[in-house]
Structure 1
Amino acid sequence: MSARTLTNVVNDQTVALNALIYGYAGHSLVTPHAALQQIWWTEERINQKVTPEFVTSRLQPQERERLTSPVGFGDLSDDTYIEWILEKARRLFLVLAEVGEAARIFAVVDRSWDDDDLPLQMDDIEQLDLSNRRDNHANSRFYHTQFSFLLRELRDGVHIDFAPNEEVPLEYVQNLPAAVSLQNWSRVHLPKRPQEVYVRRRFALGNAEEPDAFASDFMMDVESARMVEHDHIAPVWASYTAKGTGFIVTPFVGQHTLRTFIDHRNPTQYQKLLKPDRRWLVLNWLHCLADAIATLHQNGFCHSAIRPSNILIDEKNAIAFSDIGSLEIFQKDKRPDPMDVYVYGAPEAHIDPSAFDPGASAAAPTTIPTTKHTSIISKSSSGSSASNTSQRQKLTKVPSPDFSGFNFGFKKTQPAQKARSRVHETEKADVFSLGCVFLEIVTFMLKKKPHDFLKHRSSKQKINTGGKNSRTDSSFHANLDKVDTWMETLEKASFEHDDDAFRAIPPILDLIRNMLSRAPAVRPTARDVRDKLLDIILHETAIPDIHCGDHKHDIAYAPSSDGDSSAASLRTMSTMSSTESDTDTIRMSTSSDTTGLTSILDSYSDRATLSGISESDADSIRTIE
């Protein structure tokens, strides 16, 4: 037998090396991904690499003596060449060393160039005379190599427009979620941070005829999503565009949708909890989802797509909406079930709304506060990107009376209409859909089969199309009487349990009945739903902690009539810091924490228009206000 060698040992390194050699290292689920180390020239790595020893090692002996001499334009600076390199031109030196022309760093410094001048255009590169070794491709190699050292890292709250030849500093995480519908959302991590996993979603910015047709829509939706911060709405941590595609990155990593979680019936992460903790978890879910929708409505947005497939659950059983459903761009990367829109839709969405509330009046327009974010734009050979100022109809806006007296400079597209608005119906439609979701969650809590609920509420509807006389309708709005009998079944089932968590079920079902009222005007607001849930949980159970119990996302609303809202803050189990990270670029080292108020002042039709947004382009920085 031959001796056992290192190559015969099966470990993470050898498996990864084998995968890399045969070309499937980036895609195999069985490859130890952490063993594959990709080199990223981050700021930290560049500072560690470019030292006085490194610089001298790349120069000839006669050239090294010049390093300690004053720079050629000594009248303007007291720096020596080595000081200029270490303080201002580390990247430039790395690029020159990579293409074998380290000695040209003196010509670079004599022109007072530094890293802030990168990326250099071909006209500038030709001034360095890199082709003195009969290398006709030296200039081209410099141009392409410089982008490897111009790594712009994604950070919280920034947007970057990457040039086609720039590297995006993200690495794939080969780990698929349990929910098949979530598997097209890739998982990534930042360089050297494999434990910090993010979900990345991608959206086409145009089509063959108009490559940038949706670019402004994408940016508008990103800024709109950042207007609302809540623990239970997956945040846009960072965003970027690259090669005609827009991307958003979120730290909320869903393993299941609520749909797959309920259909699974016994998810492993749920089974690991003690039985009392499972019940507290589900009751907290109800309150947290209601608080998220209440926050959306207070900030002037409607969700418009509340259904189990749009709600995520991570590996720690935290729950969150995947996004704001009324942001159209964010819906384009999903694979929705067409029936879900109908099944969980409100009655007024499928029937003439005039039958429900003919006397309603229009709501007064208002303004919405937001935070200014900085957008980083790449400088490429074609210059800075031109901003797209196209407009479109966007979000359903609702009144926020506290800011109605202010005008921050946004132009009204239309005067306030006196005709009846559908804003309140849209808000109330969210409440109806949320009630449907709540009923599915309570059904799960009582260990009833979702298929039995579906079968119970289904009915035959007469039709005269497609050669058929009837079809099965399992929607909530078309079968409210059957939905009510199902709630009676759940109420009886709750009395069979001794745990005090089940004492909350009957009053919660009464609340759901109000949420599922056929007439929109009869339904409670999302804020009322949240406050009532808090009151029920506090008085009917001995729950140790109430998530979101302090209602910290409320904005300048009148105090709730519920006297226990303040008491809940003493029992909350989570806090959240709303800090805005500094925005760094390779061309700007300063940070800005300027917070502005931006108004979105629109007419109150079904879809309002985000308009009047002014942009200011300054070199590589674009601020969207």
Structure 2
Amino acid sequence: MSGRTLTNVVNEQTVALNALIYGYAGHSLVTPHAAIQQIWWTEERINEKVTAEFVTSRLRPNERQWLERSVGFGDLTDDTYIDWIMERARRLFLVLAEVGESDKIFTVVDRSWDDDDLPLQMDDIEKLELSNRRNDQVNNRFYHTQFTFLLRELDEGVHIDYAPNEVLPLEYVMALPPAVTLQHWSRVHRPKEPAVVYVRRKFALGDVNSPDAFESDYIMDVESSRMVEHEHIAPVWASYTLKGAGYTLTNFVGQHTLKSFIDHRNPAQYQKLPKPERRHLILGWLHCLADAIATLHQMGFCHSSIRPSNILIDEHNNIAFSDIGSLETFQKDKKPDPMEVYVYGAPEANTSTKPLEAEASAPSPTIGNVRKPSVASKSSGGSSNSSGSGRQKLTKVPTNEFSNFNFGFKKTKLAPKPRSRMHDTEKADVFSLGCIFLELITFMLKKKAHDFIKHRSSKQKVNMGGKNSRTDSSYHANLERVESWMKVIEDAAAEQTDDSFAAIPHILILVRGMLSRAPGVRPSARDVRDRLLDILLNHTSMPSVHCGSHKHDIGVATSSNSDSDRTSSMSSFRSSSLSLSTMSSDTDTIRSGPSTMRGVSSILNSYADRSTLDDISEFDDAESVRTIGKAHNAPMRIEVDPYRVAPRSQPV
């Protein structure tokens, strides 16, 4: 035990053992009341350690006089050796001091090496001639020691490729969320920031036969997710790769999925709110989710996986989609329920007459002779057979704008295989969102989710992954029963006196349009969002509507050829009410006309003048560390500001 150090005792195994024995982690195995002080060589700690006095104390008297001399290439800079060490090579000096070769710092400076060159490879280490004779033991010690001090801290918007021996500056948080149905995603915090928690997700970059088979998809999907910034889509706060796996961190920490939130019926965080605020919260969620989907569609994405298990709620009752469902990387670490995929799917995704590509991770169930549907890529048309200009998944379209553009990942990437997905359309997203709306309204009226499922279920044999069910509770197969449940909800809302319930009949009219069997007559997500805002402003006393400014609009104009078109511009929401009462469930007159779509090239053109591209650091070695960022450690943020319009003013 005497040979062990604090660093190699505190590892994943001992932390897990602590959690098993004591129910919590981060404390001493011997004295569980005492917290373990993990040693992190952060920038702050290195600056405190490596002072001019420290450098001087590690050198012989005859070597100290060199510190005030100009560096060997003095014609290029006025720096002295001590200036170079203190400004550029503190970590390198620490490594040399640790292996007992502090005097080699002069060789390092003469070669104009600095901390940005870490980690050094063995060929470079040998050039330092750390011993008078060739000594592989000293060289190996330098190689392994450098990773102790090479602490590349993750920051917002940054990606780092960590070398196998590099220190990962994260610690586990062992507290479990109240909802056991959350995916098995670990929770971590950065050094000395235990109160700031992140959710970490892990994705395999390949398999045994091809270790990097999925790496290109991971890279593109992470970058695509960063292009969409919305409060109600869990962001990729940072990402990194390590030992054949890709990881993402998000600062949206879910305590519940929407499914577990509704199933609990009385979540503690919800019960703490006064009753009027609870109702306003649910109504606000409807609008915020619609705003998130509208933004996705404007950015060229479909979600394609709108289901309760993919919607998160944090401890402060904030709601967000866990990710963008059409980005396949983010589906690989989940354990999807095939029945849930089927229940919330649109009719057009479940009525194919020929075999389609099945979703590998969650094969959809089949009913009778209906064949397995695909979970498809998106096109922007109203249905899967749309012949209009298809909006391709943003990250998967090969464009010339990507040439010579580097996001900080490896230079050579395999071209991703095209994935044919026919039925994931914007209108399919609207249908699934309508299902979510109806369940939230049911919850708001204190109706049991089980009663709703029982009401809409029909006796029809369903095969799901080899298991049989005698009932079909899907929305698309039971639209008539869903309609009768909406009548139950409407009657229940009419009995309530609070003004929040006055909005329910108007919202249900909108939901009927969203659940139309024909994709072409469903409203667009943007129409849903705008009409919801109009309803909330005209029929409730909500003090404010979150996302009401629609600040995520990027100037995509939509036109409508509907017979029940808007009576006026949305610039004044209270001026007039939409004539939604003329719509019926199956003959919905809401029709979304063609929309001006911003293409992939126009998004990428916004990067043309970004100064951060000049500051991307790239190493050729496979084990080197690559960080995206502004100069030095500042993170690179991908913005879409050039395409945003000014936020809409709130109506008076």
Tell me whether the two structures share a fold, i.e. TM-score over 0.5.
yes
What TM-score, normalized to structure 2?
Answer: 0.75
1:294 and 1:530 in contact (8 A); partners too: yes
- The CA deviation at 1:566 is 3.8
Match of 2:118 in 1: 118
**Residues 392-445 of structure 1: per-residue CA shift (max 9 Å, x gap):** 22597xxxxxxxxxxxxxxxxxxxxxxxxx67x722111111111111101100
**Contact 2:289–2:320 (Cα < 8 Å) also in 1:** yes
Give the Cα separation in 2 of the matches to 1:562 and 1:542: 23
1:56 Cα deviation (Å)? 1.8
Out of 386, 390, 401, which is 2:415 matched to? 390
Contact 1:549/1:568 (<8 A) preserved: no
Task: Give 3-state SS (helix, strand or coil) of 2:316's partner.
Answer: coil
Kindly indicate whether the alpha-carbon contact (under 8 Å) linking 1:226 and 1:235 is maintained by their aligned counterparts in 2. yes
The residue that corresponds to 1:548 in the other structure is 547
Structure 2 match to 1:410: none
Contact 2:456 2:481 in 1 (8 A): yes
Letter in 2 for 1:438: F
Q: State the shift of 1:104 in Å.
A: 2.2
Q: 1:564/1:260 Cα in 2 relative to 1: closer, same or farther (>3 Å)?
A: farther
Deviation at 1:390, TM superposition (A): 2.3
Query: Quick one: structure 1 residues 45 and 527, their matched pair in 2 at CA, closer, same or farther if it must change by over 3 Å?
Result: same
Distance 2:221 2:429 in 1: 20
Match of 1:199, SS state, is strand
Q: Distance in 1 between matches of 2:129 and 2:382?
A: 77
Maintained 8 Å contact 1:310/1:322: yes
Q: Offset at 1:334?
A: 0.7
Residues 544 and 298 (structure 1), Cα distance of their counterparts in 2 relative to 1, 3 Å cut? same
For the pair 1:494 / 2:493, whether they are aligned, the reply is yes
Q: Within 5 Å, which residues of 2 pair with 1:307-318?
A: 307-318=307-318
Q: Distance in 2 between matches of 1:301 and 1:330?
A: 14
- Specify the code of the residue in structure 2 equivalent to 1:36: I
Moved more, 175-184 or 129-138: 129-138
What is the match of residue 39 of structure 1? Answer: 39
Which residue in 1 is equivalent to 2:51?
Answer: 51
User: In structure 2, what is the equivalent of residue 589 of structure 1?
Assistant: 632
The one-letter amino acid paired with 2:482 is V
1:581 to 1:145, Cα distance in 2 relative to 1, 3 A: farther
**One-letter amino acid matched to 2:36:** L
Task: State the alpha-carbon separation in 1 of the partners of residues 18 and 611 from structure 2.
Answer: 34
- 1:281-321 CA distances to partner (integer Å, 9 max, x unpaired)? 00000011111111111111111111101000000000001
Under a length normalisation based on structure 1, what TM-score does the superposition of the two structures give? 0.78
Mapped to 2, the partners of 1:340 and 1:527 lie a distance apart of 25
Amino acid at match of 1:387: T
1:230-274: per-residue Cα shift (whole Å, max 9, x none)? 111111111111100011111111010000000000111101111
CA contact (8 A) 2:183 2:335 kept: no
> CA distance change for structure 1 residues 100 and 192 in 2, over 3 Å: closer, same or farther?
same
1 CA distance for matches of 2:265 and 2:384?
45
In structure 1, distance between residues paired with 2:155 and 2:98: 28
Per-residue deviation, 1:132: 4.5
Are residues 194 and 374 of structure 1, via their aligned partners in 2, closer, same or farther at CA, if it must alter by over 3 Å? farther
2:521 equivalent to 1:522:
yes
Counterparts of 1:592 and 1:358 in 2: how far apart (Å)?
Answer: 40
* 1:532 match: 531
| TM-superposed deviation, 1:181 | 3.2
The answer as to whether partners of 1:144 and 1:165 remain within 8 angstroms in 2 is: yes
**Residues 301, 395 of structure 1: 8 Å contact kept:** no
Q: Distance in 2 between matches of 1:386 and 1:315?
A: 41
**1:458 match:** 457
Q: What do the CA deviations read for 1:468-521 (whole angstroms, capped 9, x no partner)? A: 998211111111111111111111111221110011111111211111111112
* 1:29-178 matches, cutoff 5 A: 29-31=23-25, 35-74=35-74, 76-132=76-132, 136-178=136-178
Aligned-pair CA distance for 1:31: 3.8
The alpha carbon displacement at 1:135 in A equals: 6.4
Question: Does structure 2 retain, via aligned residues, the 8 Å contact 1:177–1:183?
Answer: no
Partner of 1:280: 280
State how many pairs are aligned: 540
**What's the RMSD between the two structures over aligned residues?**
3.7
Residues 19-51 of structure 1 deviation map (CA, whole Å, 9 limit, x = unaligned): 999983477642456943322222222222211
> In structure 2, do the counterparts of structure 1 residues 522 and 467 end up closer, same or farther at CA, with 3 Å as the change threshold?
closer
Encode CA deviations 1:116-173: one digit per residue, 9 max, x unaligned: 3322222222233323599651110101111222222222222221121222222211
Which residue does the alignment assign to 1:227?
227
Give the whole-Å Cα distance in 1 for the aligned partners of 2:132 and 2:226.
52
Contact 2:186 2:200 in 1 (8 A): yes
Say if 1:216 and 1:539 are closer, same or farther in 2 by CA, change over 3 A. same
Q: Which amino acid aligns with 1:305?
A: S
Higher normalized contact order (CA 8 Å, seq sep 6+, divided by chain length): 1
Cα deviation, residue 455, structure 1: 1.1
Q: How much has 1:63 moved relative to structure 2?
A: 3.2
SS of 2:513 mapped into structure 1: helix
- 8 Å Cα contact 2:50-2:90 kept in structure 1: yes
| Secondary structure of the structure 2 residue equivalent to 1:339 | helix
Task: Give the letter for the 1:444 counterpart.
Answer: F
* Cα offsets for 1:358-392 (capped at 9, x unmatched): 99651125689999996445xxxxxxx55222222
Q: Note closer, same or farther for the CA distance 1:528–1:296 as it changes in structure 2 (3 Å cut).
A: same
1:114: Cα distance to partner?
A: 2.4
Amino acid at match of 2:130: L
Which of 8, 24, 27 aligns to 2:17? It is 24
Over 3 Å counting, the alpha-carbon distance change for 1:473 and 1:546 in structure 2 is same
Q: Deviations over 1:601-622 (max 9, x none)?
A: xxxxxxxxxxxxxxxxxxxxxx
Q: Distance in 2 between matches of 1:464 and 1:196?
A: 44
1:548-597 CA deviation, whole Å, 9 max, x = no partner? 0011111222378475744579xxxxxxxxx9997786886286979799
* Distance in 1 separating the partners of 2:465 and 2:116: 66
Distance in 2 (CA, whole Å) between partners of 1:568 and 1:497 is: 25
Partner residue, 2:265: 265
* Residue-by-residue CA offset, 1:162-214 (whole Å, 9 max, x unaligned): 12122222221122112223251111122222222111111001100000000
CA-CA distance at 1:77 after TM superposition? 4.5
In structure 1, C-alpha distance between the alignment counterparts of 2:466 and 2:77, rounded to whole Å: 87
Q: Which of 116-125 and 527-536 deviates more? A: 116-125
State the SS of the aligned residue for 1:180: coil
Identity of matched residues, %: 64
AA in 2 matched with 1:82: I
Q: Which moves more between the two structures, 588-597 or 558-567?
A: 588-597
2:163 match: secondary structure:
coil
Q: Give me the whole-angstrom Cα distance separating, in 1, the residues matched to 2:223 and 2:183.
A: 26
Kindly state the Cα deviation for residue 87 of structure 1 after the two structures are TM-superposed: 1.9
1:24 aligned partner, one-letter code: L
Cα offsets for 1:101-121 (capped at 9, x unmatched):
222223323333322332222
Residue identity opposite 1:448 in structure 2: K
Greater displacement, 219-228 / 554-563:
554-563
Q: Say if 1:152 and 1:551 are closer, same or farther in 2 by CA, change over 3 A.
A: same
Describe the shift of the 1:361–1:457 C-alpha distance in structure 2 as closer, same or farther (beyond 3 A). Answer: closer
- Give a deviation string over 1:59-110, Cα, whole Å, max 9, x none: 3344334433444455554433222211221111000111122222233233
**Contact 1:95–1:145 (CA under 8 A) maintained in structure 2:** yes
Q: Classify the secondary structure of the residue corresponding to 1:24.
A: helix
- Aligned to 2:17, the other structure's residue is in SS state coil
What amino acid is aligned across from residue 220 of structure 1 in structure 2?
M
